[in-house]
Structure 1
Amino acid sequence: MDDISRLNFASTRRDLSEARHTAPNVYADPEIYELEKERIFMRNWLFVAREEEVGEPGSYLALRIFDEPLLLARDKAGVLRAFANVCRHRGVEVAFGQGKTDFFKCPYHGWTYRLDGRLAGAPLMTDNSTFDRTSCQLPSLHLANWGGNIFVNFASDPEPFEDFIKPYQEQFGFLRQEDCRMAVKLPVELDCNWKFAVENLLDIYHVKVLHANTFGAKFNADRKNIKLDPHGMVSYYYESAPSTPDGVSRFGRMPWIEERGDNFGATFRMPPNTHMFARCDSIRYLVIWPVAVDKCKLYAYHLYPRDRFELPDFAERAQVYADYQYVVLEEDRGMMVSLQQAMSSRNYEPGPMAGVEATIHHVLNDYLERMDFR
């Protein structure tokens, strides 16, 4: 902790016209990485799934958030809940992966739980006088749904979800995500700190350079349209073609934004790790999860209006977008790896920020506030 306390973040906190990128330790120090879990990820509302992933009664999804085991489960009445995926006996996970079930059973000692988290059975536990079966259940976590997007908060007393989501609903409710469905969920593993992936998705500076031969050729953003809102929210509108190799939509405009044109583009960043990208015909969420100080995993959720799924060749059309997503992310991959490697170079010194990096400046300063780095 003493080493962290000696870090100087003053140059990042200056006005953008004088600011520099932040200390390399932020991206490479294991101690800082561990602090991020408690100060950021265990306090904030986190996008963890699409409703369709756990849409049917009995369906469940088990995952890990910064090494914390999480379980989403929909009971027979259709109620979706979130639990800490830890058996109340020894802490073993009671479910793995994704599927459908009638109950959860710990694979170690056979304790079973109903879909609502209540204990159903605990073999050979009748001789323990301190054990109360009636009050034993999987630990519940706070859960919320916005437009079919499932959020979880690990905090005991989190910010009300209505307050958290209000600015996103006000600015982007017209996208009607609740009338869309997820077509694909694309996983991408990256050998870099999670914050480099976050910054990369906000970095307008690199679009016309690194992506000059892909979507950058059809991307036009006016910095005046970028909104830097409180608490690290970033939102902006711009011109961009549909996310296909030739820039031509395979589905046509979403009915509720028909008047906005084929070149409609919109983005928001939701702290700490979620980004939304909308085009005239689809919506994509890119969510980045820390895996280690120098590794992260990105999931891309592709959403389309529900009626598009009725097209006989829907899967083939949607695959065009999925394949193109991988092409663009592969262009970014090498740069993010190089950024990570630079953090251990004796010759690296954080460079000055350009005006076009206002989004990164805003997000870095929000990060420093959340981490209480002065």
Structure 2
Amino acid sequence: MTHSKNTTLPIALICCFSANILCSQVVEEKIKTNKERIADVSAKQRRISEETLRLTSPQSLRENLIWSTGFEEKQFQFIYGGKLDENSGPEWARAKRQDKDDSIIFSSSFARSGQSSLKLTWRRELLGESNDSKKAMVIFGKPSFTEGLERWYGFSILLPSSFYTDNDPYNALIFQVHATPDHHLNEQWRSPPIGLSLRNGKLKFGYTYDTEKISQKNFNLNQNRKSFEIGDLSSLLDKWTDFVVHAKFSVNNKGLIELWVDGQLIVSDSNINLGYKDDYGPYPGWGIYSYNSTNPERSIYLDEVRIGNNSSSYTQVAPGRNDNTQQKPQFDSSANHLPTANADPLTPKRSEQKPYP
């Protein structure tokens, strides 16, 4: 009996131990499974968070953009001289200014979005023989080709009323898409193919072209120019005005030009000639370019600047996209195409056929 009893006890203990081990394994499996589920849920949450961040990140906001700045960092690099192109990065721009340190500065006095903008100041007393003495402008780089080049330009400007008068007869260019002549062919500088300017209390917009390989100064350009009177200078003073310019450059009747002002489509021409037969593509510039003025000093504030590539759109470049104040583009939604510059009710008045400075 004793022998039998002693033999049975270890077997029971072994069964108990086995059951405990099995229970422990089950518990461990459950813990492991729960950990994996938690890890899986965390991973999904992390992926969702990452996707949310991606969709709202500056990188996403810069999709199809070549350059974008609101001047908030106040670390904008002004490069003087040199041959810079669109691949030089978004942190630079070339400054063309009069010989004064405060001709181009960051300012917190006004801002279309955020806390800062770029202030550009032109002074009559600093006018000289050089072309730069007539400018307070910042420009972006040059593409490597012209024919078929398509770009979107979005920006907002503010003009202080204290620096402008309606009776100033001198042209002040405030935005341009300029062109680089083929110097190796002895070609001279010409008027910009696209320009937005102020004169006699009016805001004017114009574009031109030349199908010749070498443009003879501005002879053909003046004849080919198409100009529009957009509105009164008074409508621009002491407030931010949003602009979007969409351009496709071509001298083979495949060009396009569109201009929105505060969301309103003002100019729309397609299947046109636009630009010149240059080796390098045109480049944008903002600020003030003027040969003279009845005002001793003029300033302009610039903000929300974006340059979009051929895959960009109005929504991607128009000011206000970061703070949900972007003005929706206005046009006839029942039509299959945007109205042309000569179509009612957006018919602009033809202005004087004068060259830009």
Question: TM-score scaled to structure 1, two decimals?
Answer: 0.21
Larger strand fraction of residues = 2
- Higher relative helix content: 1
So what's the TM-score if we normalise by structure 2? Answer: 0.22
